[in-house]
Amino acid sequence: MKRHTHTCTIIVLLLATSAVAAQDAEEIPFLLTYPDLDHPDGEVLLDNEHVVVQRFVVSPHSWEGIHAHPGNQVYVHVVGGTWSGRAGGESTYDNTVSETGSVGWMERIPLSEGHESGNTGDTPIDLIWVTLKGDGPISPDIDTQPLIYPEIPMDLLLDNDRVIVQRVQVEPGQWEGVHSHPGNQVFVHIKGGTWAGRLGGVQSPNTNVRADGHAGWMEAIPIEHEHESGNVGDTTIDLVWITLK
């Protein structure tokens, strides 16, 4: 009888260990899914070998539905609002305000945690997720530095072992100043506008109109190209840069 009890205890421990191992080994897709929204996958703005970028609009008093996060994610509020959270049906936070333009970092959350967030305010929340696909830095041997606009100060919002996140406002008629880009960068327009470019001091006749929430990918541009962009519209452009390390 004692041997039988001992054996049952071992089996229970093995099953518990297997369950934890299975949870740790759970493969979470890079594409984020909010099952209770009308468009669960949101809008995919960008998908390449390094990142996938999705945009979601969460209506007032709507919850996302239980979902997982793969981790290594930056979120950007194109339009902020009031969030509440739940895990396993229990409240984790209530009525926390995220301002327009605010950003943050999300670690891994398995589906088994029963995690979800909801818009408990009275206005829609417009949210962009940038999910990094790799398990580590893509340029580990390079000392990646923040982007510098010589003519405009930039705010450093986040700096960890995977990304540097900065925000800048470009006023009408303002130019950034000649600068380089390291490449492997995602940009997100909190407030869009009309851009023009210069190379070697020569302005392109073409302009680009970017809407609020527009996102894209920037390859490397060496300083020798004498590159800069300017706001040739009549409204302030509010821009977030996410530089992958």
In a domain? residue 226: yes
**142 falls in which pLDDT band (50, 70, 90)?**
very high
Sign of the alpha-carbon dihedral angle for 201, 205, 211, 213: negative
In a domain, 11, yes or no: no
Q: What percent of the chain has pLDDT over 70?
A: 89
* 48 plus 91 within the same structural domain: yes
Are residues 125 and 188 both part of a single domain?
A: no
pLDDT at 16: 37
At residue 8, the pLDDT reads 39
Is residue 113 scored above 90 in pLDDT?
yes
Please say which residue of 72, 101, 132 terminates a domain. 132
Q: What pLDDT is stored for residue 27 in this prediction?
A: 78
91 within a domain of the structure (yes/no): yes
DSSP assignment string, 3-63: HHHHHHHHHHHHHHHHHHHHHHT----SS---TTSSSTT-EEEEE-SSEEEEEEEE-TT-B
160 and 240 share a domain? yes
In terms of domains, do 120 and 163 share one? no
Q: Could you tell me the CATH number of the domain that includes residue 67?
A: 2.60.120.10
Q: Is residue 159 included in any domain, yes or no?
A: yes
Residues 50 and 102 occupy one common structural domain? yes
Q: Is there a single domain that holds both residue 172 and residue 114?
A: no
Q: What percent of the chain has pLDDT over 90?
A: 88
Q: Is the pLDDT of residue 109 over 50?
A: yes
- Asked whether residue 233 is assigned to any structural domain, the reply reads yes
pTM score:
0.88
Number of domains in the chain: 2
Average pLDDT of the segment spanning 133-146? 94
Which whole number is the average pLDDT over 104-112? 97
- Indicate whether 75 belongs to any domain: yes
What's the confidence (pLDDT) of residue 233? 98
| Average predicted confidence (pLDDT) for the chain | 91
Residues 123 and 47 in one domain: yes
Span 38-64, mean pLDDT? 98
Tens digit of each residue's pLDDT (9 = 90 or more) over 83-93: 999 999 999 99
163 found inside a domain: yes
Quickly state the pLDDT bin for 32 (edges 50, 70, 90): very high
Last residue of a domain, one of 71, 97, 132: 132
Of 84, 100, 132, the position where a domain reaches its end is 132
Mean pLDDT across 54-62: 98
Same domain, 124 and 159: no
User: Is residue 56 domain-shared with residue 121, that is, in the same domain?
Assistant: yes
Res 26: pLDDT? 64
Question: 92 is in which domain, residue-wise?
Answer: 43-132
Is pLDDT of 215 > 90?
A: yes
Same domain, 170 and 126: no
Beta strands in 152-221 (DSSP E): 155-159, 163-170, 185-191, 193-199, 202-210, 215-218
d(Cα 104, Cα 101) in Å, to the nearest integer?
Answer: 10
Same domain, 127 and 166: no
Pairing type for strands 237-244 and 185-191 reads antiparallel
Contacts of 162 (CB under 8 A, 6+ apart): 72, 132, 136, 137, 244, 245
Q: With 80 as the cut, is the pLDDT of residue 3 above it?
A: no
Both tokens of residue 52?
A: 């996938």
Decide if 137 is inside a domain.
Answer: no
Q: Would you say residue 221 has pLDDT above 60?
A: yes
pLDDT band of 2, cuts 50, 70, 90: very low
For residue 7, the model assigns a pLDDT of 37
- Statement to judge: residues 192 and 239 lie in one domain: yes
